[in-house]
Amino acid sequence: MADSTSATSNSSAILVPEILAGSFFANFRDSNNANFALKVIDKDSLTKKKLSQVKMEGEILSMLDHPLLPTLYAHLEVSHYSCLLIDYCPNGDLHSVLRKQPGNRLPVQAVKFFAAEVLVALEYLHALGVVYRDLKPENILLREDGHIMLSDFDLCFKADVVPTYDRRVHSKRMAGSMRKGGDHCFGPFSRRGVVEEEVVEEEFVAEPTAALSRSCVGTHEYLAPELLSGKGHGNGVDWWAFGVLIYELLYGTTPFKGGSKESTLRNIASSKHVNFHVMEGEDGKGMEEARDLIEKLLVKDPRQRLGCTKGATDIKRHRFF
C-alpha cells in the first residue's frame, strides 16, 4: 500500500456528495494542493453479499500499482465504516463525455486512444489474476491530464495465472543492396533491392485462462452470453465487455440494446451477429478496422473469442491499434 502520510495530513474535505446507498465520496485536498477521493462505506447498511464485495474491492485496490488504475493511499476501518483514500479524477467519467458529444459518440481516433488505455489497464489486471467484470463508460474516470482510471472493483474475482511467453515467427521485408553477389547480413539477396528477414518475437502473456465463476454480476448491456447461461464464466467476459465498449464509443449505443432489460438480455443470448450502422462522415478505413475488432471480441463462444487465450497480446496485434 502506498504511504498515506502526505495524503492524510493537513487535509480538508471540500465536497461530500452522496452517490450510492450505503456509501459516499468526499474530495480532499492536502497541503501540497493534491486532490484525493475518500470513499466511505456504511457496512451496517449492506447485505452479506455486498459486504463481501466491499472486502474484495479493498483487496484489489491494495494490489494495484499502475498509472491507469487507482492508488490506495489509506484503508481505514472505523466503527461500522470502511474508508478508502484513492486518487481523485476531476474530469468525471467517459459516460458523461459521451453524453456531451453529437450522437453520443466519439471520433475513431479518440476511440482508439481510450480503447488502448482500457486495454492496457485490463492487461495489468489479468496479469494479477483479476477478472474485472464491470467494464462500462461510467467506470472509466478521467484524470486531470486526460488519461483514464478504471474504478469500482467490487465485482472482481481473483484466479490463478501462469505467465508464459508467446513466440511468433514472421518475415519482414526490408530494402536491400542492389549489387550482385556477396553475402547480405539481413538475409537472401534480391535483385529488386528487397530482402526478407526472419523475425522472431517473444511477448509476455499473463492471462487467467483457468478463471471460473458462476455468479451473474455486471451491467446488463455489457454481460457476456456465458454470464447469462449460469454455467460458469472466466476471463472472456472482460474481452466481450471491451468489444461492447468500443461499439458504444463509436455508435453511441450498445450493440444488443433492446426496448427493455429483458429484451436486451434476449438479444445478447440469441443474436447471431453484430449489426453495424452506417455513420455519416465516418472514417472508412478506421471504422472498417474497428468493426473487424468488435466482431472478433463479440464472438459468442469464449473459446473462439479474441483475447481469451493470449489476452491483450492478441488484441494489441489487431490492425485497429
Residue of 3, 42, 44, 134 marked catalytic? 134
Cα–Cα distance measured from residue 33 to residue 10, given in angstroms and rounded to the nearest whole number: 10
Residue 30 annotated among the catalytic residues of the structure: no
Q: For residues 65-100, b (16+ Cβ closer than 10 Å) or e, as one string?
A: ebebbbbbbbbeeeeeebebbbbbbebebbeebbee
Q: How many CB atoms lie within 10 A of CB 126?
A: 25
Is residue 141 within 8 A of residue 153, CB to CB? The reply is no
> Known catalytic residues?
134
